Amino acid sequence: MAKPIRLSHVAHDGKARMVSVSEKEKTHRLAEATGMVMLGEAAFALVVKNKSKKGDILAVAKIAGIMAAKNTAGLVPLCHPIELTKIDIWFQLDRGKKAVHIFSAVEAFAKTGVEMEAITAVSIAAVTVYDMAKSVDKGITISNIQLLKKSGGKSGDYIRRTKPRN
Amino acid sequence: MAKPIRLSHVAHDGKARMVSVSEKEKTHRLAEATGMVMLGEAAFALVVKNKSKKGDILAVAKIAGIMAAKNTAGLVPLCHPIELTKIDIWFQLDRGKKAVHIFSAVEAFAKTGVEMEAITAVSIAAVTVYDMAKSVDKGITISNIQLLKKSGGKSGDYIRRTKPRN
Amino acid sequence: MAKPIRLSHVAHDGKARMVSVSEKEKTHRLAEATGMVMLGEAAFALVVKNKSKKGDILAVAKIAGIMAAKNTAGLVPLCHPIELTKIDIWFQLDRGKKAVHIFSAVEAFAKTGVEMEAITAVSIAAVTVYDMAKSVDKGITISNIQLLKKSGGKSGDYIRRTKPRN
Amino acid sequence: MAKPIRLSHVAHDGKARMVSVSEKEKTHRLAEATGMVMLGEAAFALVVKNKSKKGDILAVAKIAGIMAAKNTAGLVPLCHPIELTKIDIWFQLDRGKKAVHIFSAVEAFAKTGVEMEAITAVSIAAVTVYDMAKSVDKGITISNIQLLKKSGGKSGDYIRRTKPRN
Amino acid sequence: MAKPIRLSHVAHDGKARMVSVSEKEKTHRLAEATGMVMLGEAAFALVVKNKSKKGDILAVAKIAGIMAAKNTAGLVPLCHPIELTKIDIWFQLDRGKKAVHIFSAVEAFAKTGVEMEAITAVSIAAVTVYDMAKSVDKGITISNIQLLKKSGGKSGDYIRRTKPRN
Amino acid sequence: MAKPIRLSHVAHDGKARMVSVSEKEKTHRLAEATGMVMLGEAAFALVVKNKSKKGDILAVAKIAGIMAAKNTAGLVPLCHPIELTKIDIWFQLDRGKKAVHIFSAVEAFAKTGVEMEAITAVSIAAVTVYDMAKSVDKGITISNIQLLKKSGGKSGDYIRRTKPRN
């Protein structure tokens, strides 16, 4: 009979709990995530111009994302602290959607996965892009924050195949 | 002639900068933001069940969002520190989209607006919902994080009227 | 008819909430708290000796308490951030109880009281004393953390008169 | 001849020091701690009612305690940073004493013990209960924070047998 | 008779204390500080090249300095928390000394001065430059961190006139 | 042909990056750093007097430095989080230069070196000495922050031999 589907962070009585990873082995963990900031025409043009002038906007967002990844266990209550060994964040400008796509890749040798670090990195990088563009357009929207890839846990590797929920 | 549109966090040479608010008066500031976590069928059912049993999932996400709002200036590099006077976060379950909608309202008596605090609160609350549901579905997606309302600044009040960018 | 007694941090449906202090005036706020660390004979003797030699134990605990007071809103989820104007922490050695009594006094010009800052300062100072003495005795106990005095809010001034709950 | 009893965090000249754990092996570490919040009659009744309605009070305190445990090395000056693998916090309502008993259990695979993480978790969970009940009663008292159990270090396992110091 | 010179952060018995600023009025405060990182020939050449290519090194150091300024009260034990209204950081490359000069300007409307925020900003920006260049030269040295200017307190304005202590 | 000298934290396009240490082995790491605070005559005399009375100034600076070392990855954007196993900080009063020399030693069993932790510890300890003495002299200068020694990485051990850059 199939094991019933459960939320690992929730006990049988509905109470939140931190999953114990005491018994797990350390393995090499990797996760990649993405998200986008839909800027609208005016703000997008200014970000493009800033990038072409090699301005700082995306560097600031990158630093904010890296620092947030390191602080994931301080932000997300039930996450475990992890000694990350690599955090990378990069950007793609999408002229069609007037959007910045944000990508993160995080690695560690750890007892638990690093997808939350990848998701948190993208989220705070996106919030930082929002912050720097908000004076131009109050309709800026952050969307499609999701996991792209994950490897190293006993639940098996994962690569997103399906079209994103949108 | 119209004043050219500019990114307030970017200097003429493209460098990042923190806007000076030294000369601004303190006024009552309010901002509301929203965002959603598209959970997929199985995870949504478990969140609904947890809520109906008055479990902790949404309480944990709420606390994470409130604490993140207070920490906005520590997360978003060019934000000013602000003594917030109110932070509220609430949720709506959307059976059609299998999604949790997250709402935040933030207030302060301050020299600068609190929209980043509202956006940050929603983002980290969403990331926390993601964390608690991720064991069930790796396709969970955070979307439509955006400002709903803002008042108190000299740039005038704002209420979102248009359909969200989606 | 008397107003029913309620927990201000709890909404009618039992959900946690941060109290809004948006409408409150800033006034001068003061709070004093106390707590004790019952060390047992051996650890108490070593703390006494360290103090007589003007060693660092109580200085370390003081610094930890001061820093915790400044971080109260980062530790206690529903506390508001407050610009504290004074934090003091001092100690009394109690040879009868083999205990260190810890006292804190906190001030601010703020919309809400500072008792949580005073209580947090004492708690973390006590935890720090515990840390420095724990190698000698595993039975060390932190007790009687409580408010001594409070002034400045509209709920009126408070001075503890009754014997502590013990 | 017996080795003289010493405070491990204090050097021969009375100066504070962080103990070096460089030479120690990593072993599985566990610690359990407890503490209580004496609420008085009115606040206790409201916490009981909140719990019976499955309200949020204890969930908020639990989250605060878990996050504090992860932040122990940022709060207690001479503690080492540790990658915790499990943190659990639970509560017992004591109708006789009108008190909430708080329990924590912390685990790690580490070079040093995790009792300070367990003690810090209980302390901040207790401070958070205090915060949520303080509007009803200014005489609330936090007491009896102490270690219950500890295993994994070379100093041997420990289980509290004696009556708490009270 | 002249008032004896005293350290304001030290009580008569030599104990550390946080100065009370409860009785002080809020005034507009400004402080500027500077410091330098002596890189040596090879690392300096690489920083120059990175800057001419509009690379990120100085942007990263700037963000680190801004975030540290906001966190001053969390780093320097006896500093008061302050709502900063402006933080700016800029750089000068010194081909003679093979050094980067770092400058900071900080403002607030506050009861106490902001020189520690300016000094902390420069220090952490310098440490960040060091970090990014350290793979090339282990002899890198941070020097001459000092106050340039200060206004707004009752102790009067200050502008550095004398040659730096070097 | 010699490998060209490069900044490890900078990619080929000049963008900042966090170095991946995923493939590195954990080894025992050690780093020692130093720095000095030039106090001027009056402030130096007061620090000497405070030390002779076994006052708290240097204890406060030590605690600040230890806590900063643990927080290095939260302060310096491209640093990896590391479980430090030892942090020590000590001081030397230099009557000739009217200066306090600060020394730090940091250890870990880690995939990357701990020199940034040693440098950060010295920097924040120096900033804290500055803070405590600034009321007496606005010309105080922090200088000569540099690495003294490093071992454990594959780039080989390092001991400073040359005269400091000054």
Q: What is the pLDDT of residue F163?
A: 57
**Are residues D129 and D102 in contact, defined by beta-carbon separation less than 8 angstroms?**
yes
Q: Which two tokens mark C135?
A: 């190698």
A108 contact residues in F (CB cutoff 8 A)? 22
In a domain, A150, yes or no: yes
What separation in angstroms does the CA of E17 have from each of A122, C110, D32? Answer: 42, 22, 35
How far from chain centre, in Å, is Cα C71? 13
Q: One of C13, C88, C131, C137 is an active-site residue; which one?
A: C131
Antiparallel, parallel or unpaired: β B141-151 and B99-110: unpaired
Interface test with C, best of E22, E27, E109 (most C CBs within 10 A): E22
Q: Which two tokens mark C139?
A: 């039975």
Indicate the burial class of A54 (C-beta count within 10 angstroms; 0-12, 13-18, 19 or more): middle
A42 contact residues in B (CB cutoff 8 A)? 5
CA distance E134 to C36: 47
Is the pLDDT confidence value at A166 over 50? no
- Minimum-distance CB partner of A74 among D70, D85, D87: D70
CA distance D136 to D141: 13
In sequence order, what are the beta bridge partners of E149? E32, E159
Residue type, C81: P
Terminal CA-to-CA distance of chain C, rounded, Å? 34
Q: One of E56, E88, E131, E137 is an active-site residue; which one?
A: E131
Query: Which distant-in-sequence residues (6+ apart) come within 8 Å of B16 by Cβ?
Result: A55, A56, A57, A59, A60, A132, B9, B10, B77, B78, E59, E62, E63
For residue E101, the tally of other CB atoms under 10 A from its CB is: 17
pLDDT tens across C150-164, in order? 999 887 899 997 655
Q: Rounded to the nearest 10 degrees, what angle do helices C41-52 and C57-70 cross at?
A: 90
Q: Which two tokens mark C103?
A: 């006292």
Is the pLDDT confidence value at D60 over 60? yes
CA distance E96 to D118: 55
| DSSP conformation letters of F75-110 | HSTTPPP--EEEEEEEEEEETTTTEEEEEEEEEEEE
CA distance F161 to F164: 9
Residue type, B12: H
Query: Which chain D residue has its CA at the smallest distance from B57's CA?
Result: D59
**Are residues F51 and F58 in contact, defined by beta-carbon separation less than 8 angstroms?**
yes
Q: What backbone torsions phi and psi does residue E124 show, to the nearest 5 degrees?
A: -75, -30
CA distance B107 to B88: 9
Whether F54 and C59 lie within 8 Å, measured CB to CB:
no
In a domain, A69, yes or no: yes
CA distance A127 to D151: 43
Count: domains in chain B: 1
DSSP H or E stretch at residue E116: helix E115-133
Distance from the A150 Cα atom to the nearest Cα atom in chain D, whole angstroms: 20
Q: What backbone torsions phi and psi does residue A99 show, to the nearest 5 degrees?
A: -135, 155
For residue B109, the tally of other CB atoms under 10 A from its CB is: 19
pLDDT tens across E108-121, in order? 999 999 999 999 99
Where on the phi/psi map is residue F145: left (φ > 0), alpha (ψ -120 to 50), or beta? beta
Whether B64 and A79 lie within 8 Å, measured CB to CB:
no
Is the pLDDT confidence value at D165 over 80? no
For residue F12, the tally of other CB atoms under 10 A from its CB is: 7
Q: Which two tokens mark D75?
A: 């709060």
**Are residues C144 and D139 in contact, defined by beta-carbon separation less than 8 angstroms?**
no
Q: What is the pLDDT of residue F162?
A: 62
Of how many residues is chain E composed? 166
pLDDT tens across D138-151, in order? 999 999 999 999 99
Q: What is the pLDDT of residue C11?
A: 85
CA distance C97 to C101: 10
Q: Which two tokens mark F5?
A: 């000298």
Where on the phi/psi map is residue E31: left (φ > 0), alpha (ψ -120 to 50), or beta? beta
- Minimum-distance CB partner of E63 among A54, A55, A63: A63
In a domain, E18, yes or no: no
Query: Which distant-in-sequence residues (6+ apart) come within 8 Å of D151 by Cβ?
Result: D28, D29, D30, D31, D157, D158
Q: Which two tokens mark F151?
A: 């071992």
Segment among B78-87, B119-128, C53-62, E129-138 with least mean pLDDT: C53-62
Distance from the C16 Cα atom to the nearest Cα atom in chain D, whole angstroms: 5
Q: What is the largest CA-CA distance in chain E?
A: 61
In a domain, B132, yes or no: yes
Look up the domain containing A74 and give its range: 27-159
CA distance B135 to B130: 9
Mean predicted confidence (pLDDT) in B19-48:
95
The pTM score is 0.95
Distance from the E53 Cα atom to the nearest Cα atom in chain A, whole angstroms: 8
pLDDT tens across E6-49, in order? 888 888 888 888 989 999 999 999 999 999 999 999 999 999 99
In a domain, B135, yes or no: yes
CA distance B36 to B38: 6
E80: confidence class by pLDDT, cuts 50, 70, 90: very high
Indicate the burial class of A42 (C-beta count within 10 angstroms; 0-12, 13-18, 19 or more): middle
Query: Which distant-in-sequence residues (6+ apart) come within 8 Å of B23 by Cβ?
Result: none
E64 contact residues in A (CB cutoff 8 A)? 63
ipTM for the assembly: 0.94
CA distance E131 to E47: 12
pLDDT tens across C5-25, in order? 788 888 888 888 898 999 999
C94 is catalytic: no
Among C73, C69, C110, C101, which residue's Cα sits nearest to residue C88? C69
**Are residues C106 and C86 in contact, defined by beta-carbon separation less than 8 angstroms?**
yes
CA gyration radius for chain A?
18
Q: What is the pLDDT of residue A1?
A: 47
Q: What is the pLDDT of residue F109?
A: 95
Mean predicted confidence (pLDDT) in C109-117:
96
Is the pLDDT confidence value at C82 over 80? yes
Give percent above pLDDT 70 in chain E.
95
- Minimum-distance CB partner of A14 among B55, B77, B130: B55
Q: What backbone torsions phi and psi does residue F39 show, to the nearest 5 degrees?
A: -95, -20
Chains in contact with F, where contact means 3 or more Cβ–Cβ distances below 8 Å, are A, C, D, E
| DSSP conformation letters of F2-42 | PPPP--TTB-TTS-B-PPP-TTPPPEEEEEEEEEEEE--HH
Segment among A28-42, C88-102, F8-22 with least mean pLDDT: F8-22
CA distance E86 to D48: 47
CA distance E139 to E39: 8
Query: Which distant-in-sequence residues (6+ apart) come within 8 Å of F78 by Cβ?
Result: A66, E60, E128, E131, E132, F9, F16, F17, F18, F19
Residue in this structure with the two tokens 């304001």, named with its chain if needed: E8
In a domain, D19, yes or no: no
In sequence order, what are the beta bridge partners of E145? F142
CATH number of the domain bearing residue B126: 3.30.70.640
Q: What is the pLDDT of residue B54?
A: 76
Q: What is the pLDDT of residue D1?
A: 47
E18 contact residues in C (CB cutoff 8 A)? 66, 86-88
In a domain, D155, yes or no: yes
CA distance B145 to A36: 10
Q: What is the pLDDT of residue C12?
A: 80
pLDDT tens across F50-108, in order? 887 778 899 999 999 999 999 999 999 999 999 999 999 999 999 999 999 999 999 99
Q: What is the pLDDT of residue A54?
A: 76
Q: What is the pLDDT of residue B12?
A: 80
Q: Chain C residues with CB-CB distance to E under 8 A?
A: 28, 54, 59, 62-63, 66-67, 70-71, 81-88, 107-109
B11: confidence class by pLDDT, cuts 50, 70, 90: confident
Is the pLDDT confidence value at A136 over 50? yes
Is the pLDDT confidence value at D2 over 70? no
CA distance B23 to B26: 10
Residue in this structure with the two tokens 């000013």, named with its chain if needed: B80
Among C32, C13, C142, C24, which residue's Cα sits nearest to residue C87? C32
Q: What is the pLDDT of residue E7?
A: 84
Indicate the burial class of D149 (C-beta count within 10 angstroms; 0-12, 13-18, 19 or more): middle
Q: What is the pLDDT of residue A6?
A: 81
Residue type, F72: T
Segment among B47-51, D68-72, E117-121, E162-166 with least mean pLDDT: E162-166
Query: Which chain E residue has its CA at the smallest distance from A55's CA?
Result: E54
In a domain, A58, yes or no: yes
Q: What is the pLDDT of residue F166?
A: 45
Among D82, D25, E74, which residue's Cα sits nearest to residue F84? D82
Q: What backbone torsions phi and psi does residue C123 show, to the nearest 5 degrees?
A: -60, -50
Q: What is the pLDDT of residue E105?
A: 97
Query: Which chain E residue has its CA at the smallest distance from B19's CA?
Result: E86
CA distance E47 to C102: 51
How far from chain centre, in Å, is Cα B6? 23
